[in-house]
Structure 1
Amino acid sequence: MSVRIRTAQQEDTAQLRSLMLEYIVDFYKSPHPEDEKLKALISVLLKRERGIQFVAEHGEELKGFATLYFTYSTTRVAEITVMNDLYVAEDSRGTAVAEGLFNACKEYSVKNGYASMLWETADNNKRAQRFYEKMGGKQGNFLTYSI
């Protein structure tokens, strides 16, 4: 499978919206977001000021996406990226799509001088954990909480 990894563009919005809904609703079983909120998020990411999205394209079809958000680390006294999402459509899992998306995020972070790239995955997502270990990731010492 020949896949091209690139930054998301305005013309990707419809397909990106569909992939993001698969990720949010089908994969993570989260509530369906309001259409306007999802549109607004995609619009923010297309501006590349607070974050950036990479997409995996096979022919004319998007097969996955990864999202980096830009933030700071007080303990590192530096800017960092957070890879908040890495999603591959079910029919493309087990191919090089995930590696391509991950590497695009990593390369972007390095090239743009970020101190580190952080990410998280669900504790029961063993497939993702194996993938991240294969990519050189190490499980951190911090527990994640939310409210």
Structure 2
Amino acid sequence: MEAIIRMSKKADAPQLKALMLEYIVDFYKSPKPADQKLDDLVAVLLEREKGLQFVAEQDGVLKGFATLYFTYSTTRADKITVMNDLYVAEDSRGTNVATGLFQACKKYTGENGYAAMLWETAQDNHRAQRFYEKMGGHKGDFLTYSI
């Protein structure tokens, strides 16, 4: 059965949080955030004012998610989306889940008047880079810094 791609809803919160923790802790090896912080983030994204999440659901089980945040670009003098996350559970990688999530983000961006969708991935995540190139993305000229 093909995964259904849709916007997240309140009932998704427990499964979505588990997937987000898998993404944060297991995949990116980042510290586990406090439960309340993750609850607050999910709540903000459910409001769909500062961002939103798409989920991939198969037989009642969430298999992946993508997060879009809404912001502006000075150089474009316009509003943009930032696809901050695109994560697929290991047992669903190599299926159409990532493509469905990516396309949902792209479609939302276009249909809601955003000038562009930007995203980033780790330099050593070559699988993701190949996927993004297959989706029509291209590497930008800017380096990402953090502090």
Shorter chain as denominator, the TM-score bin is over 0.9
* 1:1-147 correspondence to structure 2 within 5 Å: 1-147=1-147
Q: Which amino acid aligns with 2:41?
A: L
Deviations 1:76-108 (A, max 9, x none): 000000000000000000000000000000000
What displacement does 1:2 show? Answer: 1.0
Secondary structure of the structure 1 residue equivalent to 2:67: strand
Alpha-carbon offset, residue 21 of structure 1: 0.2
The residue type paired with residue 14 of structure 2 is: A
AA of the residue aligned to 1:77: A
Q: Please list the CA deviations of residues 97-128 of structure 1 after superposition, one character each: whole Å capped at 9, or x if unmatched.
A: 00000000000000000000000000000000
Q: Distance in 2 between matches of 1:16 and 1:3?
A: 15
The whole-number CA distance in structure 2 between the counterparts of 1:127 and 1:33 is 26
* Unpaired runs of at least 5, structure 2: none
TM-score, normalised via structure 2 length: 0.99
Determine the C-alpha separation between the residues in 2 that align with 1:46 and 1:2: 24
One-letter amino acid of the counterpart of residue 131, structure 2: F
**Separation in 1, partners of 2:4, 2:110:** 20
Superposition CA RMSD, Å: 0.4
Deviation at 1:37, TM superposition (A): 0.2
Structure 1 CA distance for aligned equivalents of residues 138 and 17 of structure 2: 31
What SS does the corresponding residue of 2:94 show, helix, strand or coil?
Answer: coil
| Gapped regions of structure 1 (runs ≥ 5) | none
Partners in 2 of 1:52 and 1:11 — Cα distance? 15
**Structure-1 separation of matches of 2:76 and 2:60:** 41
Alignment partner of 2:26: what SS?
helix
SS in 2 for 1:70: strand
